[in-house]
Structure 1
Amino acid sequence: MTTDRTVAASSSTRDDRRLRIVLMGAPGSGKGTQGRLLSRKLGVPTISTGDLFRDHLRRRTELGVTVAGYLDSGEFVPDVITDAMVRDRIGLTDAVGGFILDGYPRTLAQVEALNGFVGEQRGSITAVVALEVDRATLLERMRTRAQAEARADDDPEVVIRRLEIYEAETAPLIEHYRSSTRVITVDGSLEPARLSAMISSRLRARE
C-alpha cells in the first residue's frame, strides 16, 4: 500500500524547481538501489553517507580512521562529522540542480542541519520517500549482501544493532517530516525497477 501526503508549500518552495529528495528506510530496505535508479531517471546525483564513509575508509584518510570504529560496531557516526560531509557534498557542482540523499538525515538535529544547508541554496526539501520493508525481509537481504560483499557492517549482530538504532532514532523522523514536507510511503519489497518507476512518477506529479 502506498500513500502520499502533500503539505502546502511556501511561495519560495513553489518557485524552486530543483529536486531535493530524502530516501528513508531501515538498513536493507533498498535505499542504495533506489538511489541509483532514481538518479538515472531524474538526472540528479545520489549522495550516500555510507558510500562517503566507505570511500574514506578505502583511502585510509584521517576521517576514515575516525569513522571505522563506529561502522564496524553498527553505531552511527557523530552528527558533527556527517553534517560537514553532507554540506560539502551538496555544494559541489553536480548537485546544483538537486540531489537524492541516502542515509541522511537520521536524527532530528540532522534534519535541522539539512534545512539550514538547503536554506543556504534558497530552497527546501522536495519530498521524503519512505521505503517500508518487514524485518524478516530486511534481515535476509543483509545476510545475502554480507555473503556477497563481505561488509563488516552486515555482520548479524551489527545488523540487529543498526535496526534497533534506526527504529529508535530515525524512523520517527518520517512522522516529523509529515508536518512540513511531502512524504511518499512505498512498499520497499517491490521489484526495484517497478518501484523506481512508481516513485519517479509520483515525484514528477508534485504540482
Structure 2
Amino acid sequence: MTTSIVSEHETAPAEKNFLPGPVLLLGAPGVGKGTQAKALMAAYGIPQISTGDILRANIKNGTELGKAAKALVDQGTLVSDELVNQMVADRLKQPDTSRGFILDGFPRTLNQAAWLDAFLSGVAGALPVVGISIVVEYEQLLHRITGRRICASGHDYNTYSKPSRVPGICDVDGSPLVQRPDDSEAVFVERMKTFEAQTAPVIEHYRKQGRFEEIDGDRPVEEVTTGIVSSLKRLRRDSKQ
C-alpha cells in the first residue's frame, strides 16, 4: 500500500464492535494529536499508552523497573530501549488493552518498532501495529504554535486565527495576553527537527509493510476524526488480505 493523504469527507462511524488494535498515532507539534487520541479512546473504549506516563508511574510506585529507571534519570542518563520495552510489555498485558490501544511516544526508534512487532506477534489474537500520521503544512503549524496567546485566567487566543478584539488584551477580563516560552518560534523549530528525526525511520518501517497512512489535519476536528477512522478501518481490512 502506498501512503495516501485522506482529504475526502468520508462517512465512517466508529462502531463499538470494531477492533482497532494497536494504533500508532503520529503528529508534529500543533496538529491536534491529543484531541484525536481522546476521540478514538471515547469511540472504541481503548486506552492511550504513553511511555512518559508509564515511566513516571513505575518510578512513583517504586517498581523494580522504576527503581532502575530512576537511577538512570538521576544520573542524567537516557533510559535504555530494553528498560522502556519491559515497561511497555507490562502495560500491554493489562486487560484494558485487549481491544486495542493508542501508542504515544513509542516506538521512537527502529529497534523499539522491531521489538514491538515481535512482542505482538507472540500474543495470541493480537493485531499488528498500524500507523496514522496527522499532517499539517509547516507554515500552518508555525502559526498555530507561535500565534497562541493566553491570559492569567486561562482564556486562549491566536493572533492569526482567533485574535482578541484589542491586541494583547483578553476580551473576557481585560488582562494582558502573553506567549508561553514553549510557543516561541525557536522552540518550535527545534521541536520539529526532533520530531522529524525521530519519526522518519519509524514511519518508513510501517510504510514498507503497508501499515501506514497520512491524514490531512488542516480540517475541522470532526472531519479529521472521520478520516482517521476511515484510514484505520482500511488498514485493518487490507492487513487481512
Tell me, in whole angstroms, the C-alpha distance in 2 between the residues paired with 1:201 and 1:37.
14
SS of structure 2 residue aligned to 1:167: helix
- Once the two structures are superposed, the pairs formed by residues 103-114 of structure 1 within 5 Å of their partners are 103-114=105-116
- Once the two structures are superposed, the pairs formed by residues 1-207 of structure 1 within 5 Å of their partners are 2-3=5-6, 19-53=21-55, 62=67, 63=69, 66-67=72-73, 78-122=80-124, 123-142=126-145, 144=148, 154=182, 156=184, 159-205=188-234, 206-207=236-237
Amino acid at match of 2:28: A
RMSD, aligned CA: 3.8
Shift of 1:27: 3.2
Segments of 5+ residues of structure 2 without an aligned counterpart are 8-18, 155-179
> How many residue pairs were aligned?
188
SS of structure 1 residue aligned to 2:28: coil
Tell me, in whole angstroms, the C-alpha distance in 2 between the residues paired with 1:42 and 1:79.
29
Q: Percent identity at matched positions?
A: 35
Q: Is the radius of gyration larger for structure 1 or structure 2? A: 2
Shift of 1:146: 9.4
Shift of 1:32: 1.9
Shift of 1:139: 4.2
Amino acid at match of 1:113: W
- The structure with higher relative contact order (CA 8 Å, sep 6+) is 1
Tell me, in whole angstroms, the C-alpha distance in 1 between the residues paired with 2:36 and 2:73.
25
Amino acid at match of 1:128: G
* Pair 155,81 (structure 1): closer, same or farther in 2 beyond 3 Å: farther
* Pair 31,132 (structure 1): closer, same or farther in 2 beyond 3 Å: same
Q: In the alignment, is the contact (CA less than 8 A) between 2:23 and 2:131 conserved in 1?
A: yes
Which protein has the bigger helix share? 1
Amino acid at match of 1:121: V
Tell me, in whole angstroms, the C-alpha distance in 2 between the residues paired with 1:177 and 1:183.
6
Q: In the alignment, is the contact (CA less than 8 A) between 2:55 and 2:87 conserved in 1?
A: no
* Pair 45,178 (structure 1): closer, same or farther in 2 beyond 3 Å: same
Amino acid at match of 2:219: L
Amino acid at match of 1:127: V
> TM-score, structure 2 length as denominator?
0.62
Amino acid at match of 2:211: R
Segments of 5+ residues of structure 1 without an aligned counterpart are 5-16
